[in-house]
């Protein structure tokens, strides 16, 4: 029993030491979005170890969205435009994983293209990423060509836009599309100033 209590105390002391180190490293701010409140230690999944170097200091908002896909607000993660340049590998890993999760939005892919991770850090990031699952969902146009975020497509038939009060005409170019993450048959794009959902079977890649 005494051994158990001693081990528990050691764990507590280690956790306190890690948090103290992260507070100093982060200047008491969320290492992803910069928030100053409701901060706590988050151990990066699939880490090679379990110390401060394998953890990040996060706010409650970032932590909740990382852990629950249904709570994700893509606009919140525009903060990664700054934090992705962190020199801390654990922060780089979390930024890479969130950008990968959100890449169907279009703009995260642009940031991913700019990111540079050391080979070891990239392997760590990929070890816990959802990239393979994301790749399993493919958005294909009417000609069987795979669509990517940011592509330009052309409508191949007139489409009645429900609730929009207009018809999107055949031949209309839809630029900078985004992919609906959980539905391979749907993409989104702006037509006549309105953001609409379009079936992939009615478009061809330009």
| pLDDT tops 80 at residue 3 | no
Could you tell me what percent of the chain has a pLDDT over 90? 56
Token readout for 186 is 């749907």
Pick the CATH number of 137-205 from 3.30.420.40, 2.40.240.20, 1.20.1290.10, 2.30.30.40: 2.30.30.40
Give the start-to-end residue ranges of the domains of the chain.
2-135, 137-205
pLDDT of residue 5: 44
pTM for the model: 0.59
pLDDT tens string 150-204: 889 999 999 888 777 788 899 999 998 988 877 889 999 998 888 888 999 999 9
The DSSP string of 43-81 is: EPTT-SS-SGGGEEEEEHHHHHHHH-GGG--GGGGGGHH
Query: What six digits make up the tokens of 12?
Result: 């507590």
The predicted-structure confidence for 98-132, as pLDDT tens digits, reads as follows 999 998 888 999 999 999 999 999 999 988 655 54
> What pLDDT score was predicted for residue 7?
40
What CA–CA distance (Å, rounded) separates 168 from 46? Answer: 47
Q: pLDDT value at position 17? A: 86
DSSP assignment of 89-144, as one string? HHHHHHHHHHHHHTGGGSHHHHHHHH----HHHHHHHHHT--HHHHHHS--B-TTS
């Amino acid at each position: 029993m005494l051994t158990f209590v001693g081990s528990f105390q050691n764990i507590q002391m280690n956790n306190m030491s890690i948090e103290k180190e992260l507070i100093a490293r982060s200047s008491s701010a969320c290492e992803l979005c910069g928030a100053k409140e409701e901060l706590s230690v988050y151990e990066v999944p699939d880490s090679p170890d379990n110390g401060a170097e394998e953890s990040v200091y996060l706010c409650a908002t970032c932590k909740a969205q990382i852990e629950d896909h249904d709570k994700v607000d893509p606009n919140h993660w525009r903060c990664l435009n700054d934090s992705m340049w962190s020199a801390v590998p654990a922060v780089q890993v979390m930024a890479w994983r969130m950008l990968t999760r959100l890449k169907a939005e279009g703009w995260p892919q642009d940031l991913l293209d700019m990111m540079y991770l050391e080979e070891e850090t990239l392997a760590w990031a990929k070890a816990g990423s959802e990239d393979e699952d994301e790749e399993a969902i493919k958005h294909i146009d009417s000609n069987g060509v795979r669509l990517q975020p940011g592509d330009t497509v052309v409508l191949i038939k007139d489409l009645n836009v429900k609730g929009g009060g207009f018809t999107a005409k055949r031949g209309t170019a839809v630029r900078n599309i985004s992919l609906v993450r959980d539905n391979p048959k749907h993409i989104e794009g702006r037509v006549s100033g309105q953001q609409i959902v379009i079936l992939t079977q009615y478009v061809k890649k330009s």
